[in-house]
Structure 1
Amino acid sequence: MRTAIVVGAGTSGAIVARRLADAGVEVTLIEAGGYDSNPAIHDPSRAGELWHSADDWDFFTVPQEHAAGRRLHLPRGKVTGGSHALNAMIWVRGAASDYDSWERAGATGWGWDAVEPVYDAIENDLLPVTDDYALSPIQASIIDAAVEEGLPHNPDYNGGTLDGVSQQQVTIRDGRRVNTWMTYAQPIADRLTIVTGREVHSVIVESGRAVGVRLGEGVDAEELRAEEVILSAGAIGSPVILLRSGIGPADELSALGIPVVVDSPSVGKNLHDHLLSPVIFTTERPVGPPQTGVSVTQSHLFWRSRDGLAEPDTQPIHFSVPMWGDLEPRGDDGFTLMAGLVTPYSRGALTLSGPDLADPPLIDLAALEDERDVAALAASVRQCRRIGAQPALAEQWGAMEVYPGPEVSDADVEDWVRRTAITYHHQVGTCRMGSDAEAVVDSTLRVRGVEGLSVIDASVIPTVPTGNTNAPAAMIGERGANFLLGR
């Protein structure tokens, strides 16, 4: 029987494991974290509790020169379900042009005509995607205020046009989170060999072929072998494993004493992410605390910050709570219009600080390095300020802007953005696919230079789509499994 190891039980990995097992492959699924027993995972109102928890890898960037020298927290799921166990469950396909641009850049066969049927199948098969839920009163008013600001109401942003304000389409059923681990892998757990709580150090490569993985290191080291190795550890985890395996930029590996297996200069490069910046309001009319089974975000919008753009470049996300973060709380109740940048020009890189599991990756998003990113995010902040001042919020709720606040003029918003920008949780690009010699994987997601090794997750995305990346990660999982099975 054909054997395979899948590293990572997140969005892509759970799908790959299921599809291979259904085809008769003997699959070992490895998850560095534990099972999703934390009740906060399953209640959409408690997602904020998961950051910095045992279920979060709790990554931080290096100090970001263009974001006020801050180290940005990058929550990533260290649990069955991966980051889909921590996120806001928002389902966004993105724009058709996103995928057509992938193909034009060398990702052969990844245009919209190829990926659209995969989205259709996912949404009609094992993963519920719905907007059939009651809006919280504050969320309904936020949508009304956005329309008062001049935005169209878009009843289906996944229907071909992103522009406008919309109720979010989410993977929630009966007030509980649903992710691909729960619907793809967990139901067939008896047909998988599942290893939890063990971190993969590296891939074992012999005579140019991947033959297994090394779990742990030192006295706890263990080798597992299989005919195929699939890395689905995400845009941070997958390149880290490749680098520790000797697959990456030769000069960087040699400097750390890691024997070079394949000189692949793009591993860890092309790192980019969507960014958010908060606009926070308190209210005279009580919004109230989060309600069990109800997400604290139910609406968002897509908007073009300047003329001439082919697609929206901003995606504010709206929260029914004040998202103070590192800011000083100024009240117990309110809401947040979180300005969002979704077409970043800045590109960073991920490198190793050492060859061992305990050596943290050096993650540099180069956040806001490109002035166009600052301009777009600042424009989104200004728009969120205007929305909060519309009658549906200012009059009906007594909404008052407390951050940035009246002391920050619209002209000073660029500085606000640099001081407050945070991740939108959408890192991609570090194992870029393409047809050029420097692409990490080819268009079938096979690692160049190593037989029997694939990367199937958001790290292969060459340019981040216009919107949340969970849906693209699921689509990549389905397509990657088909490539492995010769379909």
Structure 2
Amino acid sequence: MARSAIVVGAGTSGSIVTRRLVDAGYDVTLIEAGGYDTNPAIHEPSRAGELWHAAEDWDYYTVPQEHAAGRRLHLPRGKVTGGSHALNAMIWVRCAAADFDGWESAGATGWGWSEVLPVYEAIENDLLPVTDDYPLVPIQQSIIDAAGEEGLAHNPDYNGGTLDGVSQEQVTMRGGRRVNTWMAYVRPVEDASNLRIVTDAEVHSVIVEDGVAVGVRLTSVAEPVEASELRADEVILAAGALGSPAILLRSGIGPREDLEALGIDVVRDAPAVGANLHDHLLSPVIFTTARPVGAPEPGVSVTQTHLFWRSRDDLAEPDTQPIHFSVPMWGELEPRPGVHGPGDGFSLMAGLVTPHSRGALRLSGPAVEDPLLIDLAALEDDRDVAALAASVRQARRIGARPALAAEWGATEAYPGPDVPDAEVEDWVRRTAVTYHHQVGTCRMGSDPDAVVDPRLRVNGIAGLRVIDASVMPTITTGNTNAPAAVIGERGALFVLEDAG
């Protein structure tokens, strides 16, 4: 009889795991809390901004962030087939070799760069298209030129071994359309006889009997009061850095004191579940232009370039990764008529990619309807403020270079001339937002406190794995979608190897 598996989450990692297990003959049930990716804005890169706060967004918010002006930060997460890879900018970054070697040296045995690199190469040459073969819109080319005038090298392939410099983004697109792992891995086999796809259904918890995970408790989103149970030989959580720890906590796997306070029976006292939460952060530098930039074009992402830069000379790898948008990313800021011009412009979003701050995710109650208490502890560590502020200052300088100031008539709208460089730290605290890269809440390692071991098995619970970005011990130097794909491939391999 074929082995059976439940995969929770049809995002980047879960879609890959599903395909690999289906191909290996497993009977697979893939559960997705959202619906199918029928929204045209998912597939049209120029419309990605429409997906925030839409039905396809979990629309999470943090608790008030003490060190970020007391603000509650919006955390967009994909609630749809494709997961957050259905909402993001499709940027593919292998990140730094030192990231993975650091994981291994800290106890994530088998996750060094020598093991990871071949997985990247296989993904990029197999099902998922990764390309920078597309024309830059004029403002994006000028941003590259201005960065060169600022003294940054042009890096034609930041995935070639060196991150530093300004680059055209490598993205997962084909013919001007988004391609994610749901589309590339699962859709070709969605009618397979050994695959069942369940959408619009949220997993409340894992069923654990005598220390073994035997299934999940399922709650229909349409009918929250109706729940059912599904059982399988393997249970794999791929619900992301917010969803996977929440399911574990509702299952009674987490810090004993917290669980008992909520009336949740403790299955395993695991203090690290939900801890170690961290994220990349952005802070906006917005310019208006005298020369029209133009509206977003169909089939063209509103971001096409980014750069990696070290805010201090003594750093071994870049700690900042600004991302550049062909539109003014006003967000909660207000364009002032008569001051900020007719509306054309661009944004150089300063970016922090090596955060030292660590937060945590906790439950407010035992039900799926109870909101998650998400605390990034954003900018709690002063080193994060210093690096992000340095990135903001750099973005201001780039925007003032001739390729933008002279050729486009670029004028800084925000922070604006009334904010001197000496006050940029305050600007950062008032404006920092997520880069959409939460990780770490189900940390892997070889120590007893790790949530999962290096083969992604939940410690103390047989038959249960977590395979998604939540297992990252520390965040990667760059966008986390590509590493999440590697985690999916390696996690699926571990399942198959351990099953013999």
TM-score by length of 1: 0.99
Report the Cα offset of residue 186 of structure 1: 1.0
Q: Does 1:483 align with 2:486?
A: no
Indicate the residue corresponding to 2:169 in structure 1: 168
Indicate the residue corresponding to 1:37 in structure 2: 38
Q: Does 1:228 align with 2:234?
A: yes
Quick one: distance in 1 between partners of 2:106 and 2:255?
22
Report the Cα offset of residue 332 of structure 1: 1.5
Indicate the residue corresponding to 1:154 in structure 2: 155
Q: Does 1:303 align with 2:309?
A: yes
Quick one: distance in 2 between partners of 1:466 and 1:221?
40
Indicate the residue corresponding to 1:365 in structure 2: 376
Indicate the residue corresponding to 2:114 in structure 1: 113
Quick one: distance in 2 between partners of 1:332 and 1:180?
36
Q: Map 1:180-259 to 2 at 5 A.
A: 180-191=181-192, 192-216=195-219, 219-259=225-265
Which stretch of the first structure deviates more once superposed, 218-227 or 294-303?
A: 218-227
Indicate the residue corresponding to 1:141 in structure 2: 142
Quick one: distance in 2 between partners of 1:92 and 1:426?
12
Q: What is the aligned counterpart of 1:288 among 285, 291, 294?
A: 294
> Which amino acid in 1 is paired with 2:109?
T
> Which amino acid in 1 is paired with 2:148?
V
Quick one: distance in 2 between partners of 1:328 and 1:343?
29
Report the Cα offset of residue 307 of structure 1: 1.5
Indicate the residue corresponding to 1:264 in structure 2: 270
Quick one: distance in 1 between partners of 2:93 and 2:269?
35
Indicate the residue corresponding to 1:19 in structure 2: 20
Indicate the residue corresponding to 1:349 in structure 2: 360
Q: Deviations over 1:253-273 (max 9, x none)?
A: 011000000111100000000
Quick one: distance in 2 between partners of 1:32 and 1:111?
33
Q: Does 1:441 align with 2:452?
A: yes
Secondary structure in 1 aligned to 2:367?
A: coil
Quick one: distance in 2 between partners of 1:236 and 1:371?
25
Secondary structure in 1 aligned to 2:407?
A: coil
Secondary structure in 1 aligned to 2:497?
A: coil
Report the Cα offset of residue 216 of structure 1: 1.1
Quick one: distance in 2 between partners of 1:482 and 1:249?
30
Q: Deviations over 1:160-180 (max 9, x none)?
A: 000000000000100000000
Indicate the residue corresponding to 2:3 in structure 1: 2
Quick one: distance in 1 between partners of 2:368 and 2:307?
40
Q: Deviations over 1:357-411 (max 9, x none)?
A: 1101100000000000000000000000000000000000000001000000000
> Which amino acid in 2 is paired with 1:170?
V
Quick one: distance in 2 between partners of 1:286 and 1:478?
44
Quick one: distance in 1 between partners of 2:369 and 2:102?
38
Report the Cα offset of residue 219 of structure 1: 4.0
Q: Deviations over 1:55-114 (max 9, x none)?
A: 000000000000000000000000000000000000001000000000010000000000
Q: Deviations over 1:268-287 (max 9, x none)?
A: 00000000000000001000
Q: Map 1:312-323 to 2 at 5 A.
A: 312-323=318-329
Secondary structure in 2 aligned to 1:190?
A: coil
> Which amino acid in 2 is paired with 1:453?
L
Report the Cα offset of residue 297 of structure 1: 0.1
Q: Map 1:19-98 to 2 at 5 A.
A: 19-98=20-99
Quick one: distance in 2 between partners of 1:215 and 1:26?
18
Quick one: distance in 2 between partners of 1:86 and 1:333?
24
Quick one: distance in 1 between partners of 2:344 and 2:450?
48
Indicate the residue corresponding to 1:460 in structure 2: 471
Quick one: distance in 1 between partners of 2:448 and 2:50?
43
Q: Map 1:392-471 to 2 at 5 A.
A: 392-471=403-482
> Which amino acid in 2 is paired with 1:284?
A
Secondary structure in 2 aligned to 1:118?
A: helix
> Which amino acid in 1 is paired with 2:271?
P
Quick one: distance in 1 between partners of 2:357 and 2:398?
28
Secondary structure in 1 aligned to 2:37?
A: coil
C-alpha change, 1:246 and 1:313, in structure 2 (3 Å) is: same
> Which amino acid in 1 is paired with 2:453?
D
Quick one: distance in 2 between partners of 1:93 and 1:250?
37
> Which amino acid in 2 is paired with 1:207?
D
Q: Map 1:125-136 to 2 at 5 A.
A: 125-136=126-137
> Which amino acid in 2 is paired with 1:221?
A
TM-score by length of 2: 0.97
Quick one: distance in 2 between partners of 1:121 and 1:355?
41
Q: Deviations over 1:6-63 (max 9, x none)?
A: 0000000000000000000000000000000000000000000000000000000000
Quick one: distance in 2 between partners of 1:131 and 1:341?
23
> Which amino acid in 1 is paired with 2:219?
G
Percent sequence identity is: 79
> Which amino acid in 2 is paired with 1:120?
E
Quick one: distance in 2 between partners of 1:423 and 1:459?
16
Quick one: distance in 2 between partners of 1:137 and 1:42?
23
Quick one: distance in 2 between partners of 1:233 and 1:332?
38
Quick one: distance in 1 between partners of 2:252 and 2:59?
25
> Which amino acid in 1 is paired with 2:245?
P
Gaps of 5+ in 1: none
Gaps of 5+ in 2: none
> Which amino acid in 2 is paired with 1:182?
M
Secondary structure in 1 aligned to 2:307?
A: strand
Q: Detail structure 1 runs of 4+ shifted over 6 Å in the superposition.
A: none
